[in-house]
A and B are shown apart, each in its own frame.
Chain A
């Protein structure tokens, strides 16, 4: 009963207070931080590096472990969320690098060209975005998903990452700059180029 009240009290604390407690190895505060940021971290990892559930779980777990291990180094210059998302984005980058290296080595052994680190068969597991049962709508939805993924895959890594953080995760340009460690001007430039490219590639979808 007492433990439950304490848990409820911890759930009401803001990020700063939770971080202060987590620095003092308060397990309840650490658990609350994980609960609070798990959905967003999972969604970022899902879009940025992989859409395989196991891989996304591993990347998210690695990001949380890194954050909790180094929470004592967090000085509060930026908000905890920005600091944590930066860790998630860097973990995703490392994951993609490792994955590409593996795929490259595998392609050398098989003698086949390798992809860009993102699963080629993602369209199969994706739910129908429109949620219709109409076969035509299902087909259209799948085709749209397929086209959008291919268009995003054709973008350079940085542009894709910036675009996804902006459009899918609704971060501001300033937040993206802090998370990726680039200037706001660079982020704007990446965003414009990515939007420009996608507008041309997905012209038919945007007009229909």
Chain B
């Protein structure tokens, strides 16, 4: 038989000895009229007693207690004599070790990729050639990079000028020749 559902909480609180006076009054009134709840209460009390009997609280002999107390005191004295950095309060709590390891690994990985990016953009470098490059700005760097091309351009320009010169020279000699020929014909 199930106890009355409205009084189930009171039943449990009663067997646990946790009913307040107000609740107790209402519960006792109900118990006086309800056979099922009375039986249920008896069964629960018997169950708790059975569990207590099955799991007795251990007791230590006075000698064992004294020995235990001595071992705690010895441990405390030993701790007091340790240098400060070896004391437990300064040690890293064990549950933090995995979290800290993960954070360190992440920092290393992020640092590695960050360093790679710095190198790609030429922001961070250690070689002497690049230190020279660092001193001049990006525009100058482009000019330096295209220096060969500029030199070639200069050469081409010189060549064109030279060709122009030779062209003009040849045309003037041709004219002179023509004049000479005319003079000779007239003669």
Residues of A within 8 A of B (CB): 27, 30-31, 34-35, 38-39, 42-43, 46-47, 56-57, 60-61, 64-65, 68-69, 127, 129-130, 141, 144-145, 147-149, 152, 166-169, 172-173, 188, 191-192, 195, 198-199, 202, 205-207
Contact = CB atoms under 8 A, between A and B. Distances in A.
A144 B73 contact: no
B36 to A, nearest CB: 14
B16 A191 contact: yes
Given A27-B73, A38-B68, A65-B79, 15 more contacts: A38-B65, A39-B65, A47-B57, A61-B71, A69-B79, A69-B89, A148-B54, A169-B57, A192-B12, A195-B15, A195-B44, A199-B43, A202-B51, A206-B43, A206-B44
B50 A206 contact: yes
Interface in B51-81: 51-60, 65, 68-69, 71-73, 75-76, 79
A47 B57 CA distance: 8
Nearest to B67: A57
Interface string B78-90: 0100000000110
Contact of A65 (B53, B56, B76): B76
A149 B55 contact: yes
Contacts of B89: 69
A33 to B, nearest CB: 10
A202 B71 contact: no
Contacts of A145: 54-55
A30 to B, nearest CB: 7
Interface of B: 9, 12-13, 15-16, 18, 43-44, 46-48, 50-60, 65, 68-69, 71-73, 75-76, 79, 88-89
Contact of A207 (B13, B43, B71): B43
Contacts of A57: 68, 71
A188 B10 CA distance: 11
B47 A38 contact: no
A205 B79 CA distance: 49
Nearest to A147: B54
A38 B54 contact: no
A86 B69 CA distance: 20
Given A39-B59, A42-B58, A46-B58, A198 B51 contact: yes
Contact of B60 (A42, A65, A68, A69): A42
A152 B51 CA distance: 10
A60 B57 CA distance: 15
B53 A144 contact: yes
